[in-house]
Amino acid sequence: MKQVKKHIITNHEVYTIPHSLFLPSLHHQLSSISLLWDSNGFPISSSGQYYIKQFNPRGPSGGGVELDFDGNSKCQVAVLQNYNESLSGQYLKFSTQGRSSGAIFTETPLEIEFVYEPYCASSSKWVVVGDSFPAKWVAIGDARDHPRKQMIAGTFKIQKDGEAYKFVFCTLNNTCSNIGTMADRKGRRLVLKDDPFHFALVTVA
């Protein structure tokens, strides 16, 4: 079967959308697929490093996202938003699943990871975990880092929501949930919930 490639042309540059995004089951999403942009209007790339800046003019203030202990672990594996809005948090990298380079698009399955990887964690890639915490929460690593906890299989995506972006997590049966925040001891833990955490992406200079 002949492969079909689509292109987005912007700022005199051509970006090719991966062929896998044009499978019939995803065809209805094409109208909402677009390049991800940083706060200065430059496209997000898998080769860049970024931090999260809260975009919530009417809500509680806060800083960037970072790693901390979840209360039961001996390693920094929980993803939190710092309460202090003056702190930009730890840097992130994004890549499209199945691709090692290229521009990053909305509505596409992503691997999200911190640039900093704790020595005690198996990786700094984002996952979703379920345990006694009131909501399923965003963590890093794999099952070895979260013994006796439920690992939720699925993929992360970024969606445009008004003037901001939001994270979503989609399970293997394509049930998607917004990622919001919930108060924890040292920050707001990123969790699956209806009310999303809105943000902008800032490129690390």
Q: Could you state, in order of their start, the residue ranges of all structural domains in the chain?
A: 39-203
Q: What is the pLDDT of residue 35?
A: 96
pLDDT tens-digit readout, 140-160: 999 999 999 999 999 999 999
Q: What is the mean pLDDT of the chain?
A: 86
Q: What is the pLDDT of residue 10?
A: 42
**Token couple for 204:** 């690390």
Residues 69-85, mean pLDDT to the nearest whole number = 91
Residues 88-109, mean pLDDT to the nearest whole number = 91
Q: Above 90 in pLDDT, residue 97?
A: no
- What pLDDT band is residue 73 in, cutting at 50, 70 and 90? confident
Rounded-to-10 torsion of CA 10, 29, 160, 8: -10
Sign of CA dihedral 17, 23, 24, 25: negative
**Token couple for 192:** 């699956």
Q: What is the pLDDT of residue 205?
A: 80
Q: What is the pLDDT of residue 75?
A: 95
Fold of 39-203: Trefoil (Acidic Fibroblast Growth Factor, subunit A) (2.80.10)
Confidence (pTM): 0.84
Cβ atoms 153, 109 nearer than 8 A: no
Nearest to 115 by CA among 200, 186, 47, 198: 47
Q: Above 90 in pLDDT, residue 54?
A: yes
**Token couple for 185:** 């001891």
- What pLDDT band is residue 196 in, cutting at 50, 70 and 90? very high
